[in-house]
Amino acid sequence: MTKTEAQALAERLLSCATADHTEIGIGYSSETAARFANNAIIQSVHNVDRGISVTSAFGQRVGTASTNDLSDDSLKAVVGRAEAVAKAAAPNTEYVPPPGPQDYMDTDMYDEATASFPHDARASAIAGAIRPVEAAGLRAAGSYSTYVHESARANSAGLFGYTRRTQACFVQTVMSENSSGWAETNGPSVASLDVPGAASRALRKAVAAKDPVEIEPGAYTVIFEPAALAGLTSIAGWTMDAKAAHEGRSCWTDKEGTQVGVEALDLRTVPTDRVLPTAPWIQQGLAARQIAWVSDGVLRTLAYDRFWAAKCGHEVTGGPGNLVMKGSDASVDDLVADVDRGLLITRFWYIRFVDPMQLLITGMTRDGLLLIEGGRIARGVKNMRFNDSPLRVMKNIRRFGKPEPTTLHGQQVVPPVLADGFHFTSTTSF
């Protein structure tokens, strides 16, 4: 779907509209993924879909209808359905009429070679990643995925925007009899991935974690690798809603403008990030811009939608489309060397809220929990359950490493960090 085609389609839909305000969303996606386990490809899929959504508003009565059928009858019908739904709705007293034309940042990252990545090349890359694992007598599992997304926004106030992007992601888990390791590589194109590197890291982690011992739960100095830290920052980002905070329903109540982390903590949304960009727009097609959520450790802003921003006299931020944290050039090994006794955490699994009012969360370590002693990796440790809060972690970070892209918990570019006093409350059997 080209920009011209999207614009023509949007104009056709708008020409059928009778509502006070009409917003159109057009999307096209192509997703291809090969999944492997037990050293073989077990599923290989390709899916193409498209979608039209129409949001109609009569005053504050708002309704949305969508379809993936682009026939003439269906296009007329979807506008009619949206308007019927809107007319039947009770008012949405927080509805804000859509904005006019926008000046969008260029966040497009489209790579034709990724969009047309051949199936046999994907299979061959996976075979190459499996080979050394099999040679070591271990088992490999993972997936190699590529995505194409094209989307457009238009409305009755004259707004139009179009964007297209590709994305590629490879993850690998390696298992021995009693340990596992995991690694990922992400980017806007297949050329930006390092599949052999990720495969090698997963294998080294599984070997390092072999024959794990059980240790006592408690408070530990830890190194969160980027995928692990991303689990905590995503929770922080998701909960930063200004309205909930102002209504006293959030851990962020009364925290805007206050010190929430160490001075070096800097967390932003960067729409034009060259590895994991966001869409060029936020709510209702409003142009996205860079947002500094935390800088110098101070919470600079919460997330304001258009209604709440107008009510508070604040700029609209939208939610965090991506999260980018500043770091240093230090490697994970450099951070390990700084730890007398502690734990290296590869990633977390099944993170869930326990008490949102304290941002208390729980989860399990996974695929590589390693004991550090005297500045070196000593041995593998059986996985443990943590109960702690990102609010505590942010205030106990001792050192930042080099940021890496991770998509395990949304689009993030975050460093490994060394932090003190992270709480584990129980162990498991492996």
Partner 1 sequence: MKDMARLALDTAVQRGAEYADVRLVRYRSQNIGTEDRRVSSLSDTEDVGLGVRVIVSGAWGFSGTCDLTREGVQGCAAEAVAIARASATVGGKKVQLVAEPPTTTRFRTPYEIDPFTVPIEDKVGLLLEINDRLLANSEVKKAHGGMTLRRADRVLLNSDGSDLESEVVTTGMSYRATAVGGGDARSRSYEPPSLTKGYENIDRESLLANAERVAEQAVEHLKAPECPAMVTDLVLDPLHLALTIHESVGHATELDRVLGMEESLAGRSFAVPSYLGNLHYGSGLVTFKADNTLPHGLATHGFDDDGVAGQSWHIVEDGLFVGYGTSREVAGEVGLTRSTGTCRADHWGSIPIVRIPNLLLMPGKTPLSPEEIIADTKRGIYIEGMGSFSIDQMRCNFQFGGDAFWEIRDGKRVRMLKNVTYQSMTTEFWGSVDAVSDERSWVPNGVLNCGKGDPMQVSQMTHGAPTIRVRNVKVGAAAEVMRQSGPGSVV
Residues 269-328 contacting partner 1, CB under 8 A = none
Q: How far is the CB of 369 from partner 1 (least distance, A)?
A: 11
User: In this complex, which beta carbon is closest to partner 1, that of residue 385 or of residue 402?
Assistant: 385
In the block, residue with structure tokens 């206050």: 258
Instruction: Give the footprint of partner 1 on residues 240-259 (CB under 8 A).
Output: 247-251, 253
User: In 269-426, where does DSSP find H-type helix?
Assistant: 306-312, 332-337, 390-395
User: In this complex, which beta carbon is closest to partner 1, that of residue 4 or of residue 47?
Assistant: 47
The answer to whether residue 200 forms part of the interface with partner 1 (CB under 8 A) is no
Among the listed residues 91, 83, 90, the one whose alpha carbon sits nearest the alpha carbon of residue 63: 83
Among the listed residues 215, 284, 266, the one whose alpha carbon sits nearest the alpha carbon of residue 400: 266
The answer to whether residue 170 forms part of the interface with partner 1 (CB under 8 A) is no
User: In this complex, which beta carbon is closest to partner 1, that of residue 333 or of residue 430?
Assistant: 430
Going by C-beta distance under 8 Å and a sequence separation of 6 or more, which residues neighbour residue 424?
217, 218, 219, 220, 384, 385, 386
The token pair at 194 is 């390092």
Q: If you write DSSP's letter for every residue of 5-60 in order, what string do you get? A: HHHHHHHHHHHT--SSEEEEEEEEEEEEEEEEETTEEEEEEEEEEEEEEEEEEETT
The answer to whether residue 122 forms part of the interface with partner 1 (CB under 8 A) is yes
Among 2, 8, 18, 42, the residue binding partner 1 under the rule CB under 8 A is 42
Instruction: Give the footprint of partner 1 on residues 388-407 (CB under 8 A).
Output: 388-389, 391-392, 395-396
Among 7, 67, 295, 301, the residue binding partner 1 under the rule CB under 8 A is 67
Count residues contacting partner 1 (CB under 8 A)? Answer: 100
Going by C-beta distance under 8 Å and a sequence separation of 6 or more, which residues neighbour residue 397?
261, 262, 264, 265, 417, 418, 419
Q: How far is the CB of 346 from partner 1 (least distance, A)?
A: 12
The token pair at 276 is 């994991």
The answer to whether residue 213 forms part of the interface with partner 1 (CB under 8 A) is no
User: In this complex, which beta carbon is closest to partner 1, that of residue 52 or of residue 279?
Assistant: 52
The answer to whether residue 362 forms part of the interface with partner 1 (CB under 8 A) is yes
The token pair at 366 is 């996974």
The answer to whether residue 4 forms part of the interface with partner 1 (CB under 8 A) is no
Among 1, 3, 12, 41, the residue binding partner 1 under the rule CB under 8 A is 41
User: In this complex, which beta carbon is closest to partner 1, that of residue 162 or of residue 170?
Assistant: 170
Phi, psi of 6 (to 5 degrees): -65, -40
Q: How far is the CB of 366 from partner 1 (least distance, A)?
A: 6
Among 2, 18, 331, 428, the residue binding partner 1 under the rule CB under 8 A is 428
Rounded Cα gap, residues 305 and 302, in angstroms: 10
User: In this complex, which beta carbon is closest to partner 1, that of residue 15 or of residue 429?
Assistant: 429
Rounded Cα gap, residues 242 and 293, in angstroms: 12
The token pair at 337 is 């060397």
> Among the candidate windows 98-106, 138-146, 310-318, 409-417, which touches partner 1 by CB under 8 A?
138-146
